[in-house]
Chain A
Amino acid sequence: MPFEDSDEPRLGLVGLLDENFRAELVHLVPITISLLFGVSYAYLLKASEMQLFEITPFSEESSTGPVGNALYFVLLVCCGALTLFFLLKRGNFRLIALITGFALASAVFLLSMVYFYAFSRVFIPLPTEALVVLSAAITVFAGYVLWGRRSRLGDFVVLLLGGALGALLGACIQTLSTVLILCFLAVYDAFAVYRGPVGKIAHAGLEKLKGLSFSFKDIQMGLGDLTFYSMLVGHMLLYFGFFPCLASMMGVFIGCFLAFKMLEREGIFPGLPIPIFLGLALGFLAAFAV
């Protein structure tokens, strides 16, 4: 099917499915679920006291390292969005399915391994073979749910995945890099939704990219938004404690609600800038206050 604009409005990677949309608190439910998952995963990592490798390419110790890390993440996200955009434009849905399927399956398997490992260190010791089998089973189940008929369960898996991925990113990236990555991505998101590939992908129909978005009532959001919200609150919990985490969650909620209000007028709105900047501001205010 060739690339064409859909009539459905969207928010963000966040978009609307109804032009008479009115923002309500109930629209925050999926974000709340994803963030609670994210915080729970972060807590599990903390409780396991396991050694975590930093996943950023540049050292936090060097003065330019955090900026390099932020640019690296923006480049990754930008390349991913451009690839999807061009494939959508060419109507190459089979290749899109192959790429996103491989990426999601790898992510689910690796995240399951990490969290089952952490779980086994905190609760019940499990042999490595059991971790592999359990993770493979979770991956197959997630694939079945995501690639089968779109359902509430599929949306739920996306919320879970966003929380899990965000919490691990928040744990494996140092503070300055985390802050800069989130800020750079928020700025990039604002550009990409209005002028870049993200807005065009959203107009083409996020639902065509299985596993990369979810819909709830009249709202459609991308997996990336959920991931970076969880990255923020997960990092706050692991590096600054409970109250800064709670404050950053409040910031994300308020920011999301404001973004939803903007949707009433715009039909499509970047999901990262307001929640991320409010989340960072409230989180660090609480951290300094505590």
Chain B
Amino acid sequence: MRFNATMKIGILQIGKTSTDVLDRLRENLKTSFPEAQCQLVSDVLALPTQAFDSMRRQYRSDMILALVKDYAYKTKVFSHVLGVVDVDIYVPGLNFVFGEAECPGKAAIISLWRLRPEFYGKPPNFEVFVERATKEAVHELGHTLGLGHCANPFCVMYFSNSIFETDRKKNLFCNRCRSKIQMSLV
């Protein structure tokens, strides 16, 4: 798959995050982007304190994304940097987001906070958690490649309004989204 050939994805830990899930995320991203290089970034960034809204008890996603963007453009090691946080994030105008990305661009972030089954009162399930994290990561990286949301509910680029939609979709691009990426990179 040609569009993956030039991709070098760095997974960047921001704040406290379990390395187990990051390792699994790296492995799974290789499935979704088989020809891309994917590695964990050795640097760990601190969560920007100014991004925390004490009233909402959430972090501003766009501020964290700006941090990742800054890192991505300064280091120049990776074509795409995926920041991973384990806090609840939001953008003004929405009560929460699962992730955010430049579209197109180099930087994306995802939050693990609302991906654990425990958040929804269900028993812990690491596999479900990792699967959800993978889908959100692929979705946000899809945005960095210039993709918008897809109308196909099973495509990874389908907009998730709740965890239900995340669980329903696959962690792969539909043919239409895949060809869009290929065309944009030709």
Chain A interface (Cβ < 8 Å from any Cβ of B):
48-54, 59-61, 121, 125, 171, 174-176
**CB-CB under 8 A for A51 and B92, given A121-B162, A175-B55:** no
**Please, how many angstroms separate the alpha-carbon atoms of A50 and B166 in the complex?**
11
Closest B residue to A128 using CB positions: B153
Name the contact of B161 in the complex, choosing from A51, A54, A59, A171 (C-beta under 8 A): A51
Of B9-17, B38-46, B93-101, B176-184, the one contacting chain A is B93-101
Contact across chains for A51 and B162 when beta carbons are under 8 A apart: yes
Contact across chains for B162 and A52 when beta carbons are under 8 A apart: no
**Please, how many angstroms separate the alpha-carbon atoms of A54 and B93 in the complex?**
5
Contact string against A for B residues 147-165, beta-carbon threshold 8 Å, 1 for contact and 0 otherwise:
0000000000000111110
Least Cβ–Cβ distance between B155 and chain A, in angstroms:
16
Contact across chains for A53 and B94 when beta carbons are under 8 A apart: yes
Name the contact of B95 in the complex, choosing from A52, A121, A175 (C-beta under 8 A): A52
Least Cβ–Cβ distance between B139 and chain A, in angstroms:
14
Give chain B interface residues in 103-122, CB to chain A under 8 Å. Answer: 114, 119-120
Contact across chains for A49 and B120 when beta carbons are under 8 A apart: yes
Name the contact of B92 in the complex, choosing from A48, A52, A61, A125 (C-beta under 8 A): A61
Contact across chains for B97 and A51 when beta carbons are under 8 A apart: yes
> Total number of A-B contacts with CB less than 8 angstroms?
34
**Please, how many angstroms separate the alpha-carbon atoms of A132 and B133 in the complex?**
31
Contact across chains for A54 and B94 when beta carbons are under 8 A apart: yes
List residues of chain A with CB within 8 A of the CB of B56: 174
Name the contact of B162 in the complex, choosing from A48, A61, A176 (C-beta under 8 A): A48
**Please, how many angstroms separate the alpha-carbon atoms of A121 and B164 in the complex?**
6
Chain B interface (Cβ < 8 Å from any Cβ of A):
55-56, 92-97, 114, 119-120, 160-164
**Please, how many angstroms separate the alpha-carbon atoms of A52 and B55 in the complex?**
17
- Beyond A49-B163, A50-B162, 20 additional pairs, beta carbon < 8 A: A48-B162, A49-B114, A49-B119, A49-B162, A51-B95, A51-B96, A52-B94, A52-B95, A53-B93, A54-B92, A54-B93, A54-B95, A59-B92, A59-B93, A60-B92, A61-B92, A121-B162, A121-B164, A171-B95, A176-B55
List residues of chain A with CB within 8 A of the CB of B160: 51
Closest A residue to B161 using CB positions: A51
List residues of chain B with CB within 8 A of the CB of A53: 93-94
**Please, how many angstroms separate the alpha-carbon atoms of A174 and B161 in the complex?**
19
- Which interface residue of B94, B95, B114, B162 has the most chain A CB atoms within 10 A? B95
Contact across chains for B94 and A125 when beta carbons are under 8 A apart: no
Closest A residue to B162 using CB positions: A50
Closest B residue to A172 using CB positions: B95
Least Cβ–Cβ distance between B100 and chain A, in angstroms:
13
**Please, how many angstroms separate the alpha-carbon atoms of A171 and B97 in the complex?**
16
**Please, how many angstroms separate the alpha-carbon atoms of A121 and B97 in the complex?**
17
List residues of chain B with CB within 8 A of the CB of A51: 94-97, 160-162
Name the contact of B164 in the complex, choosing from A60, A125, A171 (C-beta under 8 A): A125
Least Cβ–Cβ distance between A55 and chain B, in angstroms:
9
List residues of chain A with CB within 8 A of the CB of B164: 121, 125
List residues of chain A with CB within 8 A of the CB of B161: 50-51
**Please, how many angstroms separate the alpha-carbon atoms of A54 and B55 in the complex?**
16
**Please, how many angstroms separate the alpha-carbon atoms of A53 and B93 in the complex?**
6
**Please, how many angstroms separate the alpha-carbon atoms of A120 and B96 in the complex?**
20
Least Cβ–Cβ distance between B61 and chain A, in angstroms:
12
**Please, how many angstroms separate the alpha-carbon atoms of A42 and B155 in the complex?**
31
**Please, how many angstroms separate the alpha-carbon atoms of A60 and B56 in the complex?**
11
List residues of chain A with CB within 8 A of the CB of B119: 49
Closest A residue to B121 using CB positions: A47
Least Cβ–Cβ distance between B153 and chain A, in angstroms:
9
List residues of chain A with CB within 8 A of the CB of B163: 49
List residues of chain B with CB within 8 A of the CB of A49: 114, 119-120, 162-163
**Please, how many angstroms separate the alpha-carbon atoms of A39 and B160 in the complex?**
26
List residues of chain B with CB within 8 A of the CB of A121: 162, 164
Least Cβ–Cβ distance between A58 and chain B, in angstroms:
10
